[in-house]
């Protein structure tokens, strides 16, 4: 559901709604999922990769919520590049990389009380045994509730009670080593107090800046003529990421502990007990956190915290709910980018009115024309905002947004808001509806809008400066080649002056070509060349992501790298897959998470001669490492194997079975093929069992599966 909205003011039109999900046809749903995947990926890059968000948290959440709702109704249409499979951002440059022993994942969001009830109903549906279902009934389930601090996630590792390492979340798998900076935070103990802590324990929580410290810091920066921070969260992130820890030490940072990662030995049976342990070890824990019994008590807690929100000394944007029992939590496990046992219940966004001065058009790296509202600057929730995305032509027409309009905007944590609606009573006389351009503002090429899609796209391809430059920006971005010092301005300058036209040209830059240009001396040029040379070896998944193939983002790149193993094998298979009757085409479609639409775009990329040339030229400059599967700490017979489930299981739900198989190191497939190692057959198995017999795939009964699942 969308976030709650304020009642329209007098004379203000109520916002029209998009086509209800339950009324979408499969064709329309497929097109919208494709559009949403591209749009959300665009905003992920701006927020996580560029630290330059274009929309508010609330606007972003609306996009993700609609994507999730469509996927729930059309599960067969879930894309390999679905936003539901992504989390976080790659670690920034300037810090050593730290790989988290256990991923630091984000949470799914709820915006209404019904969303919360639906979530806990899904928890109940996950289990099948009567004794388990009884433990998760909505009226009695134990849940830890805690305010959702608007800060920066951090994991702090202790060895034999001493602080050994601290890291940011990064992309959830790899973060930044910020140990020296975290040591300066008074709330973080350098040595654990008390006793009974594991020899190794990662304590996780949120680094934040309270409002008093934020205002004092900004006042000091303004006095010194330095730019002020937009909000406490940005101030906390900027302070923690100082390369000079002495600067961090001067900043008013705090830390709330609320979770953990690696542990050498269990130390609690519930979240409630774990929080009490943290406090005993010397950590600050949020005093408002509460153990609730039943969903009604949770919702009452959410309302209570919402009423106290304005008076709290720090910013919060919701309440986090966690199933208290750690045994149930372990069995629930994770789904893609988020745990099944936790949920973030967001607060409604803050709103204000301002003037929309002009609508401009931006062109993305895939040619998407995105309308942007240029606003009369206004303060919303203490933050000055001046721009907002308008998404697409349909969004403008749906809300009848015009230049010169007074508009209602809202934000929920970011600088850039969303346009909620228009105040028609204040519309200037003689205003005219906005006419969306049908030519690209960058290269004047024709713009087209394919049937079923919401976006207009430039047909200029590589001749379009915006697309060429945006593709190069993506190539060097954090989730791709991650070349330090190769910023957007440098990409634009080098492209404009003809130094680079294609990705391989980046690796052919020399100091002689750069030195003497405006802003470039011998030292800065040398640093850039060294940074480029440091990226001449790259992992297969990052390389695939860097290519900018339509629909292929970070998550899909990892799927492809994991399945094909090497660049040579992947490229050969994609060439062979051009024949829709080939085994290579069937194999690509059978990769769990990649459907026909996705496969078509991937194969289409290799069908273009200029794309093959890009690969050939890059092969002369870089080394692409073969995929190395992460070590699986298990001796399970299904570790590293592909397993498929069919029919209904009596002892556990299908979701729990899949989660358990993945925890044991298996790849879970959606259909039976020659690549399948095991087929687990439940009641009413259907055609998969027959196909497995034809292909010689080993069939496991439910009893066989339960022995493996239990480690017997």
Please check whether residue 56 is in contact with residue 47, taking contact to mean a CB–CB distance below 8 angstroms.
no
Please pick, among 30, 148, 346, 641, the residue that the annotation labels catalytic. Answer: 148
CB neighbour class for 223 (10 Å; exposed up to 12, middle 13-18, buried from 19)? exposed
Q: Is the dihedral of CA 680, 682, 688, 691 positive or negative?
A: positive
Query: How many whole angstroms separate alpha carbon 501 and alpha carbon 487?
Result: 16
Q: Note the residue count of the chain.
A: 712
Going by C-alpha positions, the residue among 437, 470, 272 that lies closest to residue 361 is 437
Could you give the 3-state DSSP secondary structure of residue 679?
strand
Q: For the chain, how big is the Rg over CA atoms in Å?
A: 26
Query: How many whole angstroms separate alpha carbon 213 and alpha carbon 484?
Result: 31
For tokens 């600050």, name the residue.
284
DSSP state letter for 216: H
Q: What share of the chain is helix, strand, coil (3-state, %, to 5)?
A: 40, 20, 40
Outline where 497-566 has alpha helix (H).
Answer: 503-506, 511-514, 522-533, 540-546, 554-564
CA distances from 492 to 49, 443, 445, 473, 489 (A): 17, 15, 20, 9, 5
Residue 698 pairs in a beta bridge with 678
Q: What angle, rounded to 10 degrees, do the helices at 583-590 and 567-576 form?
A: 120
Going by C-alpha positions, the residue among 628, 650, 655, 625 that lies closest to residue 640 is 628
Angle at 354 between CA 351 and CA 359, to 5 degrees: 115
Tokens of 539: 């992992």
Whether residue 675 lies in the annotated active site: no
Residue 643 pairs in a beta bridge with 668, 678
Spatial neighbors of 259 by CB under 8 A, at least 6 apart, are: 203, 204, 205
Angle at 328 between CA 195 and CA 699, to 5 degrees: 125
Q: What DSSP string runs through 153-175?
A: EEEEEEETTEEEEEEE-TTSSEE
| φ and ψ of 367, to 5 deg | 85, 5
CA distances from 350 to 62, 86, 609, 611 (A): 15, 27, 50, 46
DSSP state letter for 129: S
| φ and ψ of 543, to 5 deg | -60, -45
Going by C-alpha positions, the residue among 32, 47, 107 that lies closest to residue 389 is 47
CA distances from 657 to 190, 191, 666 (A): 41, 41, 11
First-to-final CA distance of the chain: 43
Q: Give the residue numbers marked as catalytic.
A: 148
């Amino acid at each position: 559901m969308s976030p709650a909205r304020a009642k329209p003011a007098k004379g203000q039109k109520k916002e029209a709604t998009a086509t209800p999900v339950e009324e979408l046809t499969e064709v329309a749903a497929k097109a919208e999922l494709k559009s949403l995947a591209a749009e959300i990926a665009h905003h992920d890059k701006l927020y996580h990769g560029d630290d330059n968000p274009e929309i508010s948290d609330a606007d972003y959440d609306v996009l993700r919520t609609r994507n999730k709702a469509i996927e729930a109704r059309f599960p067969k249409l879930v894309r390999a590049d679905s936003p539901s499979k992504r989390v976080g951002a790659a670690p920034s440059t300037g810090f050593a990389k730290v790989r988290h022993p256990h991923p630091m994942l984000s949470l799914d969001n709820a915006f209404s009380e019904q969303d919360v009830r639906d979530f806990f109903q899904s928890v109940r549906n996950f289990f099948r045994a009567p004794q388990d279902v009884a433990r998760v009934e909505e009226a009695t389930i134990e849940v830890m509730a805690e305010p959702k601090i608007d800060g920066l996630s951090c994991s702090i590792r202790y060895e034999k009670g001493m602080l050994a390492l601290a890291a940011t979340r990064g992309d959830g798998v790899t973060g930044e080593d910020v140990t020296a900076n975290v040591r300066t935070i008074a709330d973080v103990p350098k040595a654990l107090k008390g006793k009974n802590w594991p020899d190794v324990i990662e304590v996780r929580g949120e680094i934040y800046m309270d409002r008093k410290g934020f205002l004092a810091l900004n006042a000091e920066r303004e006095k010194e003529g330095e730019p002020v921070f937009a909000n406490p969260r940005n101030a906390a992130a900027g302070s923690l990421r100082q390369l000079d820890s002495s600067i961090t030490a001067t900043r008013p940072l705090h830390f709330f502990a609320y979770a953990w990662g690696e542990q050498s030995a269990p130390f609690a049976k519930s979240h409630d007990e774990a929080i009490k342990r943290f406090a005993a070890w010397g950590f600050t824990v949020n005093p408002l956190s509460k153990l609730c019994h039943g969903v009604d008590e949770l919702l009452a807690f959410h309302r209570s915290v919402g009423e106290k929100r304005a008076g709290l000394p720090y910013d919060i944007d919701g309440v986090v709910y966690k199933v208290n029992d750690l045994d149930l939590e372990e069995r629930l496990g994770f789904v893609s980018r988020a745990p099944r046992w936790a949920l973030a219940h967001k607060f409604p966004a803050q709103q204000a009115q301002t003037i929309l001065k002009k609508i401009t058009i931006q062109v993305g790296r895939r040619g998407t024309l995105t309308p942007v509202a240029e606003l009369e600057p206004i303060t919303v929730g203490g933050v000055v905002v001046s721009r907002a995305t308008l998404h697409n032509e349909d969004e403008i027409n749906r809300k009848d947004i015009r230049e010169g309009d007074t508009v209602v905007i809202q934000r929920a944590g970011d600088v850039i808001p969303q346009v909620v609606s228009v105040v028609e009573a204040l519309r200037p006389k003689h205003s005219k509806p906005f006419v969306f351009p049908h030519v690209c503002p960058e290269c004047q090429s024709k713009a087209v809008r394919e049937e079923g899609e919401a976006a207009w796209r430039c047909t200029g391809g590589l001749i379009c400066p915006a697309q060429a430059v945006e593709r190069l920006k993506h190539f060097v971005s954090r989730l791709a080649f991650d070349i330090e010092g190769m910023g957007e301005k440098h990409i634009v300058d080098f492209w404009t002056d003809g130094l680079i036209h294609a990705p391989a040209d980046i690796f052919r830059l020399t100091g002689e070509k750069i030195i003497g240009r405006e802003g470039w001396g011998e030292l800065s040029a040398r640093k850039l060349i060294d940074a480029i040379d440091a990226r001449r070896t790259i992992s297969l998944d990052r390389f695939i992501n860097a290519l900018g193939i339509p629909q292929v983002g970070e998550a899909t790149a990892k799927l492809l790298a994991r399945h094909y193993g090497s660049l040579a094998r992947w490229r050969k298979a994609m060439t062979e897959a051009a024949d829709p009757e080939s085994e290579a085409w069937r194999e690509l479609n059978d990769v769990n998470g990649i459907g026909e639409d996705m496969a078509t775009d991937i194969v289409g990329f290799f069908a273009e001669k200029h794309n093959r040339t890009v690969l050939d030229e890059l092969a002369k400059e870089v080394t692409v490492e073969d995929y190395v599967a992460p070590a699986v700490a298990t001796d399970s017979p299904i570790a590293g194997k592909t397993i498929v489930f069919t029919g209904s299981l009596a002892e556990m739900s299908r979701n729990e079975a899949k989660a358990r198989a993945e925890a044991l190191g298996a790849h879970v497939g959606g259909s039976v093929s020659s690549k399948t190692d095991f087929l687990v057959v439940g009641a009413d198995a259907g055609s998969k069992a027959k196909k497995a017999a034809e292909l010689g795939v080993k069939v496991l009964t439910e009893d066989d599966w339960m022995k493996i699942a239990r480690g017997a």
